[in-house]
Structure 1
Amino acid sequence: MSYPSFQEIREVHHQLVDMRLEYWLHNNVFTFQWWLLLVVLIVPWFIWWMFVDKRRLKEILLFGTILMILVIVLDDLGVELQLWSYPYQLFSLLPRLISIDQGIIIVFHMLVYQYFPKWKIFIIANIIMAAIFTYIFEPITVWIGIYELDNWRYSYSLPIYVIKAVLVKGIVDEFIVKYVRKKTGD
């Protein structure tokens, strides 16, 4: 049995990068979906800036940044494992859906983190938000062709939305924020 060499894998990868760029240039850029992805990336950040508690800005941004890293890793894993895919993307070279991963999802999570600081209400708010993203926003993105479920079901997303937010809140609240507050005397 013959296994592929690294060189063969690299050649196929180069072909794939070229194919993705060609596909993006001829099927993505400036389509309705592309413009929608641009709006979904930019507009939530402007809204967030209007409503963010500037006194807690560092803490909220820390929550959002850690969550963003986690979301990017999970999304990359999902694409790589062929659980889902994105026929439309804002940028051709990244397999993830940046507009969602670094736009609307993070902004919504940060707003929930800001407005619902107590654990019980935070979890309830995240369950509601997760249900909205899972059963309304995800089907809409499938319907307009931005997102395809390859080996995934909507319901699988629900606990992931909640667990990742709870995990990151735990990290930020219990470890980092308490450490910083103790050190600075706040």
Structure 2
Amino acid sequence: MSFIPEEVNIQKQLTEVRISQWLSEVFLKPRWWALVFIILALCIVWFQMVDKSRLSEICLFTVLLTIIFMGIDEYGEELLLWDYPIDIIPLFPPFFSIHFISIPLLYSQIYQRFKQGKYVFAVLISSAVLCFVVEPIITFFGYYDLINWHYYESYPIYVVTALCTKATVQKILYFSKKNRRIGNAG
């Protein structure tokens, strides 16, 4: 039998406490059901609104943004900057926390609808709305708790992440198109 480091045992205990707390205080409670409904509604609306002719491109953008925000959310929780008291499931990654779904879906709609100059403006405005309107509302309803964080600190993260993700997707599309032309010429 191998030695189990103390920090692994502590992590196991924390996980057991988190699952027990989630089962007794969160699972199947009204706010949990509301979160399930919100997430399903957001996904359905997003799918209805997404440009199906650009689905691969928009999904690439959405998945990259989701991966980035999953990391940001997990780091923030680990460093006790914020917490998501209501999750659909109690384990990492924070699948279906309110931010995990809503932010990538919102930014993907902005990505789909706005060209470069207007995209930047739309990201600046939507990031402000997220930070100074949406986050206080979801905090009020108990889906998001600020511990060592302020709403305004999210603003540059949202803006930079949305802009860098768009730039990354545009580079991927450029190189893909360029390589297709080279492949077709040969």
In the TM superposition, what are the counterparts of 1:19-30 in structure 2 within 5 Å? 19-30=17-28
The structural deviation recorded for 1:97 is: 6.0
Change (3 A) 1:72 1:141: same
**Residue aligning to 2:29:** 31
Match of 1:120 in 2: 117
Q: Distance in 1 between matches of 2:4 and 2:82?
A: 26
Matches within 5 A, 1:51-66: 51-66=49-64
What residue in structure 1 maps to residue 174 of structure 2?
178
* In 2: Cα distance, 1:97 partner to 1:145 partner: 17
In structure 2, do the counterparts of structure 1 residues 82 and 6 end up closer, same or farther at CA, with 3 Å as the change threshold? Answer: farther
Which residues in structure 2 correspond to 1:117-156 (within 5 Å)?
118-156=115-153
State the partner residue of 1:48: 46
User: Structure 1 residue 182: deviation in Å?
Assistant: 2.1
Cα offset for 1:95? Answer: 6.0
Q: Distance in 1 between matches of 2:144 and 2:99?
A: 13
Task: Give the TM-score normalised by structure 2.
Answer: 0.90
**Structure 2 residue identity aligned to 1:147:** Y
Paired residue secondary structure (2:90): coil
- What is the CA–CA distance in structure 2 between the aligned matches of 1:46 and 1:130, rounded to whole Å? 22
Q: TM-score, normalised by structure 1?
A: 0.90
Distance 1:95 1:63 in 2: 19
Partner of 2:80: helix, strand, or coil? coil
Residue-by-residue CA offset, 1:35-66 (whole Å, 9 max, x unaligned): 12212322111111111111111111111111
CA RMSD of aligned residues (A): 1.6
Match of 2:77 among 76, 79, 91: 79
In the alignment, structure 1 residue 9 sits paired with structure 2 residue 19: no
Consecutive unaligned residues in structure 2, runs of 5 or more: 182-186
Decide which of 165, 168, 171 is 1:168's aligned counterpart.
Answer: 165
Distance 1:42 1:110, change over 3 A: same
Counterpart Cα distance in 2 of 1:40 and 1:6: 41
